[in-house]
Chain A
Amino acid sequence: MTLLISVFAAVIATVVWYKHAPNDNWKVGTLALMYWGASLMWMCDAIFEYAELKEEFFQPAAADMLNDLFLGLTVVALGLVIWLVVLLVKDPKGVLRGKLLAKKND
């Protein structure tokens, strides 16, 4: 479930990035790469888990699925927070820099 949610997040971020490419003022490319990195890592984890559990891997308990759903959503939220921090630190539009300089000049 966590893998599925992160793959969906990666696909959505990639589509948004592609729609605005080559302009990446919003650094959506960074967000997409972060989600793809996590998705690949979870896919690897899933392959190892499948090798261990076989058919059981595809029959998770309802409680586990609910827990994984919450985890997936939390992961997406953390990804968005990291992206926001990166966006504000890099400040590609110079909004924060402009505000800080304006305050200094005052």
Chain B
Amino acid sequence: MACFIVPATEAIVTTIAAKVLAKKEKNMEIHHEGSSAGIVEKSHFSRKLGWLNNMLWGGSALLALEHVWHGEVVPWFPFLTAASDASSRAEMFHEMATVGVAMAALVTVTWAIMVLVSSRIEKREDTTASVSEAAAETVSTSDNK
């Protein structure tokens, strides 16, 4: 009926959050100019928030097409056929509260898992890099001796 409105609303919020975060990160980058690029790249959470934005906007747009296809969304006011009378309006709100919220939650949980996995990979790569760096340093100091 109108379940796609819930993830679309979340998409608006996360897009604004990503924009604000990107601005803050840019300011931080200027502040930390001269530090290694890896540190700056790793702190780019706004880039990861972009994944969620793409999933939410893409999913909502494609689901909106499905609703147009089934005649649930129309190009005239009130745009949702279910919003025309009280009983179907209640049904629509119930669907938004159940299916819509579940959709938004599932996409967000999937994104959170993606962020967790990517952070783990980044951490592992950092540890490997620092271990090999330390090993190279040890070799060079023993060579100097």
Binding site for B on A (CB under 8 A): 2, 6, 30, 33-45, 47-48, 71, 74-75, 78-79, 82
Q: Is the CB of B103 within 8 A of A44?
A: yes
A34-B58, A40-B106 known; 20 new pairs, CB 8 Å cut-off, are A33-B54, A34-B54, A34-B57, A34-B62, A35-B58, A36-B110, A37-B7, A37-B55, A37-B56, A38-B59, A40-B107, A40-B110, A41-B63, A41-B106, A41-B107, A48-B98, A74-B65, A78-B62, A79-B58, A82-B61
Write out the residue numbers on chain B whose beta carbons fall within 8 Å of the beta carbon of A30.
Answer: 54, 58
Closest residue of A by beta carbon distance from B102: A44
Question: Would you mind naming 8 contact pairs between A and B with Cβ atoms under 8 Å apart?
Answer: A33-B54, A34-B62, A37-B7, A37-B60, A40-B107, A44-B103, A45-B3, A48-B99
- Residues on B with C-beta less than 8 A from A38 are 58-59, 62-63
Top 7 A-B pairs, shortest CB-CB distance:
A34-B58, A37-B59, A37-B55, A33-B54, A38-B62, A38-B59, A41-B103
CB distance from A50 to the nearest CB of B (A): 12
Instruction: Give the dominant DSSP class at A's interface.
Output: helix
- A74 smallest CB distance to B (angstroms): 7
